[in-house]
Structures are given as structure tokens and as C-alpha cells.
Amino acid sequence: MPGRPPTDARPPLLIACALGIERFALRGGGRRGAAGPRVVTLRTGMGPQAAERALTQALSEGSITERSPVIASGFCAGLAPGMRPGDVVVAEATRGHDSASAETPCRDNGPLLRALRERGLTVHSGLLCGSDHVVRGAERAELHAAGAVAVDMESAATLRAASAAGPRPVAAVRVVVDAPEHELVRIGTVRGGISAFRVLRSVLPVFHEWHRSLLLPWR
């Protein structure tokens, strides 16, 4: 019969993160809220190759549809002086660790920026750069001088793989776990890591709201 498709016809939101502690913070993956479709939280493993491989596999298995929005989330390293653990980075675009890599734009990030700022969080927006290793010291300063506000190892590969599989809304929202004046040795063992964990845990409702706000063609 004609009419509005059932909820299951709507594409689930895919939230991709690398670490178990990130997935734990972003708990709720796979649960269905009364107001909308499913959310799937995918742990990709660390590094750009692992992220790209996990996204490609998830999108090919059919548990995520060709229309599913994708958010790359988790922790990141802040690059700008003055950044602090617990600050949030919403990417305007992501770029891989190769400086010649094409940027993946995040055109649907406006609602995320507004909602996070309305929660009283300190939010930075700009280029989120990829790396295949932990970035420290002088290299951090070089990436900032080249225009990046933060760096992580998986976001660029995640969004590149998602976009390659078909047009869809993509976003990258990361929580700063260390910064130029607040370098972190181990996540969760110092105050900065705990602060970042708490903020990451608090942003999941914003992702749900973003998902519901997207005007996707349900057909």
C-alpha cells in the first residue's frame, strides 16, 4: 500500500570510532529511540587503514544502507594554542595524512555546531587533519601552520570511505584529549583524559538530533 515507509526503511546513523573507550562513551549504538531510526556504533580499530577497511566492510554488508549518514567521532589532538581537553572540534573538512590528499567537505555540520554550543561546550571548527601516527611537538605546530585545527588518525579515512560508497551526509566531531599546553600520555589516567571522556559521552544526543534533522529522501 502507498504511504510513508516504516521506520526500518530509514537509513540508520553510523557512528565510527577507533577505540573501545570511545565506543563505551558513545554507548547506545544499535539501540532504537522512539523518535527515530537505529544508531549503529562501529569500532574500526586504530589508524587510517583500519578505519577505511572497517567502513568499507560495514557498508558492503548491508547492515548500513547506501543512504546512511556517517559521523566519525572519538578523541583528537588539538593543534591551536589555548585549546584544552574537553573542547570539541567539528570539522569543516577532513584531509588525509598525505598533504596532497583531497579534502572531504562536511557540508551538513551547521546543526551540530549550533547544538553543541547551545550545550555550553567550547567548540572549534575548521580542517581536521589525518595522521598515521601520534603527533607531538614540532609536527603539531607544522600542521596548525598549514591550516588544521586538530588531528586524529581515523576521521579522514572514515569519511573518505563513506563518501566513496555513495553520496550521504558526513561529519566529524572529535573531543580534544590533548593540546599544545596539555599533552596527554594515557587516556583516562589523567584529568584531561577524564574530561574528554565525559564530554564525548555527553554529545550522543546531539548526534541523534542531527540525524533526525537531516532531510533525506526516504524512498
Find the CATH number of the domain harbouring 34.
Answer: 3.40.50.1580
**pLDDT, tens digit (0-9, with 9 covering 90-100), for 146-172:** 899 999 999 999 999 999 988 899 999
For 46, residues 6+ apart whose C-beta sits below 8 A from its C-beta are 18, 19, 153, 154
Number of domains comprising the chain: 1
Has residue 3 been placed in a domain? no
Domain-embedded: residue 2: no
- Residue listed under C-alpha cell 589525518: 130
SS3 of 3-26? CCCCHHHCCCEEEEECCHHHHHHC
> Which pLDDT belongs to residue 8?
46
Instruction: Please report whether residue 114 resides in a domain.
Output: yes
Question: Do the domain assignments include residue 105?
Answer: yes
Q: What is the pLDDT of residues 157-215, one digit of tens each?
A: 999 999 998 889 999 999 999 877 666 554 444 456 788 899 999 999 999 999 988 85
Contact 193, 184 (CB under 8 A): yes
| pTM of the entire predicted model | 0.86
- Is 62 inside a domain boundary? yes
Provide the 8-state DSSP code for 65: -
Percent of the chain at pLDDT > 70 equals: 81
Which residue segment(s) compose the domain that 141 sits in? 10-213
pLDDT at 17: 97
